[in-house]
Structure 1
Amino acid sequence: MSPSGVAALRAVGLDPVIVEKIVREALAEDLGPDRIDVTSVATIPAEQTDTAELVARADGVVAGLAVAGAVFETVGRWTAAGHTVEVTPLVADGDRVVRGDALARVTGPTRVLLTAERTALNLLSRMSGVATHTRAWADALAGGKATVLDTRKTTPGLRVLEKYAVRAGGGTNKRMGLFDVAMIKDNHKLAAGGIAAAYRRVRSAFPDVPVQVEITTLAEAVEAVEAGADFLLCDNMTPDALRAVVAEVGDRAELEATGRLTLDTVAGYATTGVDYLSVGALTHSSPILDIALDLRPRD
């Protein structure tokens, strides 16, 4: 990847090595082992160059411009030796856009533009869809204490990109995986013999790893806090039940509500006093933002 491509990814907090791996695997689905777009090779001279624009086909929030740029750059390296592909963003990740807005301009060999088109749009549209959905939640919570969190309910292989898109949309990332935060859930409690036993075992095995405990009742909240937990995940609890937990726990633990949450009901949960609302739908159910690649008319 070029120094400019690396810099663009790092500027938004994405690891270029991870992004390049995702891009290569995505392109492999389209180009096969010979890395060829048979239609473009057959119809477009190798020396032809053009300029195209990435254009929003719907209103939303943009995320993933540098990732789309990495796709065009990678195809350029693979299929057009000696030719460069120039990607010029016209907006920034996190910006609101409306239908018809040009998001970026791409100039280079026409074969490269059309070969990279679908993979670049798949990633950009997916990430922008997550950012757009997240912004709706962030707007609904604006001015209050609670913030919206994502979950691990992500598309396999795209977690890094989808969690970045959550950030671009105004949300907050929870744990990246099973390795960076311990989450004691119902099955762990059952297998270990209870909340206190499970908490002690995690603390003993991994003393430096943050520990969160899933609770479903006020009694479990009290048990978890008394065991030492300072972060509780309140699962499928009503607003009234959450208020009771907030009143009992106070500032002894951070509180996250999850389950039963929709944009229609979010206000009732946001006023309970919890610190976070986690929403799996940010990543598992966000529709894409429709984005297209339009070649500019030739003179």
Structure 2
Amino acid sequence: MLPSAAQVAADVRLALEEDVGSGDLTARLVPAGPVQARILCRQQAVLAGIPWVTEVFSQVDGNLALDWQLADGDAIAPDQVVCTIRGEAASILTAERAALNFLQTLSATATATAAYVAAVAGTGVNILDTRKTLPGLRLAQKYAVTCGGGVNHRVGLYDMVLIKENHIAAAGSIRAALEKAAALFSGIPVEIEVENLEELEQALVAGATRVLLDNFDLEQLALAVKLNAGRARLEASGGVNLQSVAAIAATGVDDISVGALTKDIAAVDFSLLVS
């Protein structure tokens, strides 16, 4: 789900306002004249963020020319050049940090996602993202998840109903919450969170078609899959990491949501070098 060009441009404007402000003072020391620069990656990673990086350089100086050697979603080898840039040195250096910030962050999400996807390869299980994103970069990070082979869950509170523990308590019961959701929303996905097998059974009897199994251990997950018997789509959530995800997938659930894809990431090491 690549955000619109307008959304990318807005993300970039905020980043440049934050970094450049009223002007790049140090760039005034740089002699006028064209140079060539290259962006290289120091580590193995998955690339994500090209639209944002391209937009950064365009907003700083529309005369800069970028030549991407890879596409978003491609694997990067250590010390591989991913892009070359030609134009005024001062413009390139002004754009450098904002561009690399987008690239290192979004590639980090794509790289983390790819690792989880590889861990469950062959099981048919989807790796889902969550709303645990960096403020202001949700659409960008969710795009990066797809670059890594993951699948987007709901974007926000407005495009899907996810009935959680406190919603159930306020509604009075699992059945009451599901019945109200069915009455209010037509054509909008509805998912309900359950915390044990008894609640799962209540949800299934009430007609749930998508259920989030919150913090179930492996034994409980396997029992939940058996109890479900294909009636609803089952999503495992909570306590998922790279060491546990394959075993979770082996229980037979349909989806595994992983907050770490967007919140527990280590920036990918990119550098910009002027020649």
* TM-score, normalization by structure 2: 0.97
State the Cα deviation string for residues 252-292 of structure 1 (Å, max 9, x = none). 10000011211111221111110011000000001110101
- Equivalents in 1 of 2:123, 2:169: separation in Å? 35
Name the residue aligned to 1:148: 127
Pairing 1:29-178 to 2, within 5 Å after superposition? 29-32=18-21, 34=22, 36-41=23-28, 43-45=29-31, 47-77=32-62, 84-178=63-157
SS in 1 for 2:60: helix
SS in 2 for 1:99: coil
Bigger Cα displacement from structure 2, 197-206 vs 111-120:
197-206
Bigger Cα displacement from structure 2, 260-269 vs 280-289:
260-269
Q: Is the 8 A contact 1:236 1:258 kept in 2?
A: yes
SS in 2 for 1:267: helix
SS in 1 for 2:223: helix
SS in 2 for 1:93: coil
Aligned residue identity for 2:150: G
Name the residue aligned to 1:282: 261
State the Cα deviation string for residues 47-78 of structure 1 (Å, max 9, x = none). 4111111100111111112210110001114x
Pairing 1:174-189 to 2, within 5 Å after superposition? 174-189=153-168
> Is residue 14 from structure 1 mapped to residue 3 from structure 2 by the alignment?
yes
Q: Is the 8 A contact 1:133 1:286 kept in 2?
A: yes
User: How far off its partner does 1:234 sit?
Assistant: 0.3
Q: Is the 8 A contact 1:87 1:107 kept in 2?
A: yes
- CA RMSD in angstroms, aligned pairs only: 1.1
* TM-score, normalization by structure 1: 0.90
Name the residue aligned to 1:235: 214
- Equivalents in 1 of 2:44, 2:149: separation in Å? 16
Aligned residue identity for 2:8: V
State the Cα deviation string for residues 134-171 of structure 1 (Å, max 9, x = none). 11101001111212110000001000110111100111
Aligned residue identity for 1:69: T
- Equivalents in 2 of 1:27, 1:200: separation in Å? 47
Give the unaligned 5+ runs of structure 2. none
Give the unaligned 5+ runs of structure 1. 1-11, 78-83
- Equivalents in 2 of 1:54, 1:15: separation in Å? 25
- Equivalents in 1 of 2:207, 2:35: separation in Å? 62
SS in 2 for 1:252: coil
Q: Is the 8 A contact 1:145 1:273 kept in 2?
A: no
Deviation >4 Å, runs of 4+: none
Q: Is the 8 A contact 2:36 2:87 kept in 1?
A: yes
2:195 to 209, 216, 221: 216
Aligned residue identity for 1:136: A
Say how many residue pairs are matched: 275
State the Cα deviation string for residues 24-53 of structure 1 (Å, max 9, x = none). 001100111x2x100002x123x4111111
Bigger Cα displacement from structure 2, 257-266 vs 125-134:
257-266
State the Cα deviation string for residues 167-186 of structure 1 (Å, max 9, x = none). 00111110000001100000
The percent of aligned pairs where both chains have the same amino acid is 40
User: How far off its partner does 1:13 sit?
Assistant: 3.0
State the Cα deviation string for residues 217-252 of structure 1 (Å, max 9, x = none). 111111112212100000100111111111111111
